[in-house]
Amino acid sequence: MSKNDKQPAVLSGIQPSGQLLISHYVGAIRNWVAMQDTHDALFMLVDLHAITVRQDPAEFRARCYDFIALYMACGLDPEKSTLFVQSHVPAHAELAWVLNCYTYMGELERMTQFKDKSQRHEANINAGLFGYPVLMAADILLYQATHVPVGADQKQHLELTRDLALRFNNLYGDIFTVPEPFIPEAGARIMSLQDPTAKMSKSDPSEASYVALLDEPKQILRKFKRAVTDSDMDIRFDPENKPGVSNLLTLLSIFGDESIESIENRLAGSGYGKLKVETGEAVIAHFEPIVARYREIRADETGLDAVLAQGAERAAARARPTLQRVFDALGFLPRPNSLG
């Protein structure tokens, strides 16, 4: 049973690869924090997805703790939402195998992320990378999520999830909830500081293009001072013709808690230097208490393990009935009680 059967269920997660960026915070985590009070919320660390790219085991484990501590420092409350690690709930991998058997090769071959990642990792185009969207579908369908926060680059994967749910339901009855996308209207796409026509990404080879939550203040200010803008020096919000300036205005509005129109009027004639510095300072001020809280949480790995154990138990209890319904529909023999 959910914490409140009247609340819609929402599920989301981030891969523990690279670093958590301000774009993750704006596009995902701050929305998650708000949803804790309005939704039956499950938020996970999707570590199984991350191993489609080779990881250093020691660095990977440390980064997983880092991400969970940052989730909590940003405001995710394990008492309000289910906070867990994907690999701690075996049902994810079990359902993914079943759904693989109902997914067509052509559907996966059309996935643009597979094509993009294959070009970036030509020496390691593995089956996990190809089947990544099926595991993502399993993640969502296990928990009967009604809404899934997704960026524009994940909409194709969610469409596949919906197709798989409908396909399975048509064959076996009402097994899965068909999820709807949740796409925030404002601030969902934060752009690269060096190429403002591309989204800010932790996979960008240039560290100057993104701002990580754990960047030092001097580093953050330096990155903003070097942000690419344009040559006409007019501070106005115009994403098509002035993407760099528009990106800075968006960030200053979010982290400075001021409307874009107000910023435009206040900084008219000031030049880009002032806009860049104000944006950097607003970001630094916003994350200063979050980083301090992160350091407290991260220092207590025993406490983090306890949080994750609680989250895994709650998530597994939520996932088990769905997986059992799938197994029953397929005619699998009953699983011994001792195996859960």
Give the residue numbers marked as catalytic. Answer: 117, 199, 202
CB hemisphere CA count around 243 (13 angstroms): 14
DSSP label of 334: P
The residue among 43, 258, 232 whose CA lies nearest residue 139 is 43
Q: What angle do CA 205, 286, 154 make, to 5 degrees?
A: 45
Token pair in block for residue 268: 């008219």
What are the structure tokens assigned to 22, written together? Answer: 């301000």
- What distance in Å separates the CA atoms of residue 228 and residue 64, rounded to the nearest whole number? 32
For residue 196 the two structure tokens come to: 């403002």
Say how many C-beta atoms besides its own lie within 10 A of residue 150's C-beta: 23
- The C-alpha atoms of residue 276 and residue 298 are separated, in whole angstroms, by 31
**Do 304 and 78 form a contact (C-beta atoms < 8 A)?**
no
